[in-house]
Chains A and B, each alone.
Chain A
């Protein structure tokens, strides 16, 4: 990439290690049983509601882990997939998983299989419900839209990396009357999901999903660490604004550190 180094500058390394330390220390506090405050995230509270609606209506749920490959974004989505699949197994509701990336497909299938086994219903898992529909963006979007038209899911979960197809799939789900919960770290797609979905999770909340839902002390600790990391960045922004106002942008000592 032009102008962007793949090596850390001393300040970037310091900041990265500082945030990582905050996360790890908070995890340690959580492990020790310290009571940690967790702010409410409405979008994630709605996951159980959407899953319950599908059960009430006797229609399937649809889950898509995005069009990205196996990376941090997709792993965060797969953690949530396990939660949704467990609800599906517990309530006897069918869950359809629409996969775009071939590398994600076997992992998604295994995640769902495990979820059914954990709930003690391995025989209810149908591996044909986890589907690799197409390997590229628009064919996958069309196949997912077709799947929604045929199966009429009562709830749809869009969690992962999405691009221009986000609005197409969300609007199609809206047309079949599905309640929708979406989450993505892709900044460009957030407005589309906000416009078309019932609940949207974005920013750092997307990565908080599995931790927030599990309420596991270790995971909760990492969420608190995330918030401390954000606080560090906010303080740096305020310091940057003050220093730039006093010394000018070129004379700002923080600007020198960034190089």
Chain B
């Protein structure tokens, strides 16, 4: 019997080797067969993920079920809201999308599905996203407090970039010849040269780190290996 760790390491190595060879070898060498096999290999992950979704659901239902029966009042309210929305969306979604042919597709069900998804879920997502503006203000207030030289430099750079992006920045220095272009050009220089170069440098680091991490996982050198006791 093959030990569990060796089995996982073997499968991981073979799967990694497939993708590495698929990237390295020109299609002309393999007759395109390696690339075609990706359509078969790829869905394996989707099958595993489908099982995981079931596990996630099960845990959510278990926790919210317990909250409903044993939790304090505040948790019961949350649990009622959860069960109400969960079962409504599930039943309506199944009815509309995977309805057996003998059942009638009433316009009401389709309308309800549209209402639940487009008019509630999407709208709520947009509302949450819009909250970001307030969080940015709060974070910017703390980040831009001038406590040391670095914070001062960041504040000055932010000031130039912000003013360079809006018409009032050009207007402020328009009292002398060519002055209206100073702030927009400075902002552009800061963004493309200073910030751009820094982000590229970090990007290179991320890529090299990903190669090293990928190698450690591929060759099962990562400590802890997720299902194995650490040494």
Residues of A contacting B229 in the complex (Cβ-Cβ under 8 angstroms): 114, 117-118
* Smallest beta-carbon distance B83→chain A, Å: 15
A196 touches which one: B139, B203, B227, B231 (CB < 8 A)?
A: B139
Q: Contact between A23 and B212 (Cβ–Cβ < 8 Å)?
A: yes
- A123 part of interface (Cβ distance < 8 Å): no
CB of B14 within 8 A of chain A? no
Q: Is the CB of B227 within 8 A of A185?
A: no
**B contact face: mostly helix, strand, loop, or mixed:** helix
A230 proximity list for chain B (CB < 8 A): 204-205, 208
Classify chain A: how many residues form its interface, as a range: 35 or more
Residues of A within 8 A of B24 (CB): 8, 13
Residue B153 interfacial (CB < 8 Å): no
Docked-complex contact A171 and B139, CB < 8 angstroms: yes
Q: Is A2 an interface residue (CB 8 A)?
A: no
Q: Closest CB-CB distance, A142 to chain B, in whole Å?
A: 6
Residues of A close to B53: CB separation below 8 A: 102-103, 135
For the complex formed, measure the closest distance between the CB of A120 and the CB atoms of chain B, giving whole angstroms.
11
Which residues of chain A are near B210, meaning CB under 8 Å? Answer: 72-73, 185, 207
Interface stretch of the complex, out of A46-54, A59-67, A198-206: A198-206
Tell me, yes or no, whether A219 is within 8 Å of chain B by CB.
Answer: yes
Q: For window 9-42 of chain A, which residues contact chain B by CB distance below 8 Å?
A: 13, 16, 19-20, 23-24, 27
In the complex, whether B222 has a CB less than 8 A from a CB of chain A is yes
B206 interface neighbour in A114, A187, A216, A225, Cβ under 8 Å: A187
Note all chain A residues with C-beta closer than 8 A to B108. Answer: none
B44 within 8 A of A: no
CB-defined contacts of B209 to chain A, threshold 8 Å: 185, 203-208, 226
Q: CA separation between A82 and B227, bound complex, in Å?
A: 11
Complex formed: what's the CA distance from A117 to B210 in Å?
Answer: 29
Complex contact B217–A72 (CB within 8 A): yes
A106 touches B52 (CB 8 A): yes
Taking a contact as CB atoms closer than 8 A, the residue among B55, B139, B202 that contacts A106 in the complex is B55
Contact of B204 among A8, A114, A137, A233 (CB under 8 A): A233
Complexed CA–CA distance, A130 and B170 (Å) = 53
Instruction: Report whether B203 and A187 are in contact in the complex, using a CB–CB cutoff of 8 Å.
Output: yes
Which residues from chain A contact B26 at a C-beta distance below 8 Å? 7
| Chain B residues near A131 (CB-CB < 8 A) | 59, 63
In-complex Cβ contact of A210 among B128, B201, B224 (8 A): B224
* A214 on interface, CB distance cutoff 8 Å: yes
- B230 CB → nearest A CB, Å: 6
Other 19 A-B pairs with CB < 8 A, given A70-B49, A75-B222, A164-B132: A8-B23, A20-B215, A24-B215, A27-B221, A72-B210, A75-B226, A102-B52, A102-B56, A105-B56, A114-B229, A117-B229, A133-B60, A138-B124, A167-B136, A170-B139, A205-B205, A207-B206, A207-B209, A226-B208
Q: Which 9 A-B pairs have the closest CB atoms?
A: A207-B209, A204-B209, A203-B205, A204-B205, A132-B56, A195-B143, A102-B56, A229-B208, A138-B128
